[in-house]
Copies of this chain bind each other. A is one copy, B any other.
Amino acid sequence: MARTITFKQAINEALDQEMGRDPTVLVMGEDVAGGQGTQGEMDAWGGVLGVTKGLHPKYGDRVMDTPISESAFVGAAIGAATAGMRPVVELMFNDFLGVCFDQIYNQAAKFKYMFGGKAQTPVVIRTICGAGMRAAAQHSQSLYAIFTHIPGLKCVVPSTPYDAKGLLIESIRDNDPVIYFEHKQLYQMEGEVPEESYTIPMGEAQIVREGGDVTIVTLGEMVHRSIQAADELAKTGVECEVIDLRTTSPLDEDSVIESVESTGRLVVVDEATPRCGMATDISALVAQKAFGSLKSPIEMVTAPHTPVPFADNLEDLYKPDANRIAAAARSVMEYQAWAPASSSS
């Protein structure tokens, strides 16, 4: 599989292939085509960052521009899903969940349960997350923890072009509501992606780097910074195993636990804010289910408990980088238990 394309192209290809394969797949959102009602070109934008470009010319009115009414059109995608369609709706930035959240967590997420199993809501909500673009506090958040907290939703956070395509096709075919996060800093990332259609199952984390000393659990863009840190540490003889969660809900508990059982040390790396987030979620999982294997405290490397700042120097400080990740890994390596710690009651 020698072909190399970008993360953005991989998403576009997944949408194209699924729309071609299944007529019930619809794409809707603000400017997903662009140009509606104007004097100029249709498909002028293909979404704010061009991810859906080319779909409207090919699939016509199955690709729908919307007013800026997220509650109505995200809700419409959800309603259409319960009525037999497989809509892929774009919530331009995940920061905008606040204007349509009810339809996602009280409606889509709960239908099947509230209705005693008699409903199915195969909708995919694609949304951009992440800091680094100088887009400031309302366009740079990573809010997957909020969706992971809600039973009934699935959350996908791909980190490579290959995963982006396979996980999006899986998400579209999945019969539950899926929130699919696209980190804006990954769109230009290149990687090998098969031209044919393929899926990657939900709830299967990937060990992207093997190592026996420290387990680093992470997701999204942080996967690459974690690998960078691991490569640095390798030079000093510390071998980190880096696990890319790929989906936060369902969560691949086994891969995390098995790795910690072999390394005895855990660092969790997440770009999101620290409270009630994925870093705490993974830490708690391990503190409960792999405690016996832990040789040192669990370290979390996350953004601070602050909004995302605009100034470039501050935003760079906001995001965890390879140095902070490496420092955390070193600290768990260097930890020396005092007497009380090593004696069991």
Residues of A within 8 A of B (CB): 71, 95-106, 109-110, 113-114, 136-138, 145-146, 148-152, 249, 251, 264-265, 272-273, 275-281, 283-289, 291-300, 304-307, 309-310, 335-338, 340-345
Contact = CB atoms under 8 A, between A and B. Distances in A.
A148 B273 CA distance: 10
A283 B281 CA distance: 9
A305 B147 CA distance: 12
A341 B292 contact: yes
B113 A102 contact: no
A75 to B, nearest CB: 11
Copies per complex of this chain: 2
A217 to B, nearest CB: 12
A104 B343 CA distance: 47
A66 to B, nearest CB: 17
A294 B295 contact: no
A211 to B, nearest CB: 14
A309 B136 CA distance: 40
Q: Which 7 A-B pairs have the closest CB atoms?
A: A98-B102, A337-B344, A283-B284, A280-B284, A291-B297, A287-B287, A98-B101
Nearest to A283: B284
A269 B106 CA distance: 24
27 contacts: A95-B106, A98-B103, A99-B102, A109-B307, A113-B307, A114-B136, A114-B138, A114-B307, A146-B149, A149-B277, A276-B281, A280-B280, A280-B284, A283-B283, A283-B287, A284-B284, A287-B294, A291-B297, A291-B341, A292-B337, A292-B340, A293-B340, A294-B341, A295-B344, A295-B345, A336-B344, A342-B343
Contact of A273 (B114, B149, B306): B149
Residue from A101, A106, A280 with most neighbouring chain B CB atoms (10 Å): A280
Nearest to A286: B287
A283 B288 contact: yes
A145 B298 contact: no
